[in-house]
Amino acid sequence: MIVILDYGMGNVGSIQNMIRKIGCRDVIISRDPIAVENADKLILPGVGAFDMGMESLERFGLIPLIRAHALEKGRPLLGICLGMQLLGERSEEGNLPGLGLLPFRCVRFAPPADSGLKVPHMGWDRTYIQADTPLTAGLEAKERYYYVHSYHAVCEDPSAVLMTCDYDGTFPSALYHGSVYGVQFHPEKSHLYGMKLLKNFVERC
């Protein structure tokens, strides 16, 4: 069973619909501790501010369940957008520590005033695969995904970088370690490209 974590901060319905569209019916939206504890796979979505996300996870008692799922059971976990950022160590956007499941921090985009680049980074953009994993199996080297974010990952460990994107410089747009994956873009809004990636998570990870 796949559980999409409902902590009040994500496009949970869109993600569930996309997963069902690829043929998986065993997917639910829940914050129920028993469902989360028994999940084969977890998806941590997210839209909003970093500290608010961590506070919501704590309020619903989800932090120890997420950690146990990934660290003790070694089961697949996918973070999306803010959900990916929460998997890291910290963010300039807030003061609370992240889940610490992936080795990165988040900083705000700061393009030069004369660059013509806007914050947030919004819209479709090329994304370059850097590692061969179950999540990226069969994908093209330069997939296009839909982004909406003002903060981006900074990672000193190149072995954790799964995909990159170019916007005000190159930044990690997907990271991974073991069974834990995080993507900054929105696969549920990325049509066929996102469908292929989610299909890999469902069937291969």
Which one of 24, 81, 106, 165 is the catalytic residue?
81
Catalytic residue status for 156: no
CA distance linking residue 173 with residue 104, whole number of Å: 11
CA distance linking residue 104 with residue 101, whole number of Å: 9
CA distance linking residue 117 with residue 76, whole number of Å: 35
Catalytic residue status for 186: yes
Catalytic residue status for 121: no
Please give the DSSP secondary-structure letter assigned to residue 143: E
The answer to whether 70 and 77 have CB atoms below 8 angstroms apart is yes
Which one of 69, 121, 149, 186 is the catalytic residue?
186
CA distance linking residue 83 with residue 69, whole number of Å: 15
Position of tokens 């199996």?
Answer: 137
Which residues does the annotation mark as catalytic? Answer: 81, 186, 188
